[in-house]
């Protein structure tokens, strides 16, 4: 029988988290109808060998000779997937036993739903604010002026991260983090998978935006739990990832907002993106330098 779910995991130098992630998948409630596809982006920590040794034929392993980055490597996995649903899963996330079954049930019950995301739990046990609205010019302004941080629990200023909501109730959202995201295979293939113009970041935001444009919904399901060691790969090269994220946000604006919002508003937004990105990169680089000096 074909699998019900194809779990697609892209890995780069997170061997221990990856083994834990795959082990949790194979032990979960939907394990009997789940195929696991791991694409390793030329890790230097023995990740591919660890998967082959620990799971053998229970997981399909694609070992790239070079780092193809997140979007392209996921598309490799999508091309191999045979399931009715595709679970996009980061190696630093591992699902609770019934998470996949609950996500599938919620999507199956809603004909308009293309995807569903679980509640993400951080290592300290707190609920991660993992859902965001699409990054409109107003939300960029609230981020740049620190209004969101000053009024995080208000709809007006903190709404980018759904600050007015305690994340304990299910609802449709714009864009949950794709650390763990279940998508109908048909919807994902119709959308064309990830746009590789967003090699590392905002590929999930772009996908959700395109699903929304097609009239499809993305659900947040708090009864499905996934534990998340946030940023296990990206924090290894934090400043470079901040720069990549900023470039991807600018690309998202060029693709989806240029010509669709007033030109002065678009130009102002791009200035906020570039200015805010430069500040965040400088802070990340300073932390890296200070950390290296302390280790030295």
Average pLDDT of span 95-100: 94
Is-contact 93 180, C-beta < 8 A?
yes
3-state secondary structure of 73: helix
Angle between helical axes of 69-80 and 203-213 (0-180°, round to 10): 60
pLDDT tens track for 173-216: 999 999 999 999 999 999 999 999 999 999 999 999 999 999 99
Superfamily of structural domain 5-130+167-232: Spore Coat Polysaccharide Biosynthesis Protein SpsA; Chain A (3.90.550.10)
User: First and final CA of the chain: distance in angstroms?
Assistant: 56
Confidence of residue 1 (pLDDT cuts 50, 70, 90): confident
Domain limits of the chain?
5-130+167-232, 236-295
Is residue 230 left, alpha or beta, with left meaning phi > 0 and alpha meaning psi from -120 to 50? Answer: beta
pLDDT tens track for 108-163: 999 999 999 999 999 999 999 999 999 999 999 999 999 999 999 999 999 999 99
Is-contact 42 74, C-beta < 8 A?
no
Statement: residue 238 has pLDDT above 70: yes
In whole angstroms, what is the distance from residue 40 CA to residue 31 CA? 22
Q: Where are the extended beta strands (E) located within the chain? A: 5-11, 34-41, 60-64, 85-89, 93-95, 113-121, 131-132, 171-173, 175-176, 180-184, 217-228
In whole angstroms, what is the distance from residue 127 CA to residue 166 CA? 9
């Amino acid at each position: 029988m074909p699998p019900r779910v194809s779990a697609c995991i892209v890995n780069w130098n997170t061997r221990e988290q990856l083994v834990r992630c795959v082990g949790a998948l194979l032990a979960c409630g939907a394990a009997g109808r789940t195929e696991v596809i791991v694409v390793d982006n030329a890790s230097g920590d023995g990740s591919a060998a660890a998967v082959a040794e620990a799971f053998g034929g229970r997981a399909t392993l694609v070992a790239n000779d070079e780092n193809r980055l997140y979007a392209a490597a996921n598309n490799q996995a999508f091309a191999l997937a045979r399931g009715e649903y595709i679970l996009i899963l980061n190696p630093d996330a591992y699902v609770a036993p019934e998470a996949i079954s609950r996500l599938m049930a919620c999507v199956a019950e809603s004909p308009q739903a293309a995807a569903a995301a679980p509640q993400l739990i951080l290592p300290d046990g707190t609920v991660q604010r993992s859902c965001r609205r699409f990054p409109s010019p107003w939300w960029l302004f609230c981020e740049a002026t620190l209004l969101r941080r000053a009024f995080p629990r208000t709809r007006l200023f903190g709404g980018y991260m759904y600050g007015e909501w305690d994340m304990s109730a299910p609802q449709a959202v714009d864009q949950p983090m794709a650390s763990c995201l279940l998508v109908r295979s048909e919807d994902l293939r119709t959308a064309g998978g990830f746009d590789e113009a967003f090699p590392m970041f905002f590929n999930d935001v772009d996908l959700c935006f395109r699903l929304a444009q097609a009239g499809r919904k993305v659900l947040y399901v708090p009864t499905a739990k996934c534990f998340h060691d946030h940023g296990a790969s990206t924090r290894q090269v934090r400043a470079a990832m901040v720069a990549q994220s900023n470039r991807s946000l600018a690309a998202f604006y060029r693709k989806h907002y240029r010509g669709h919002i007033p030109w002065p508003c678009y130009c102002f937004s791009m200035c906020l993106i570039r200015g805010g990105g430069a500040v965040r990169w400088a802070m990340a680089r300073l932390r890296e330098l200070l950390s290296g000096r302390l280790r030295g």
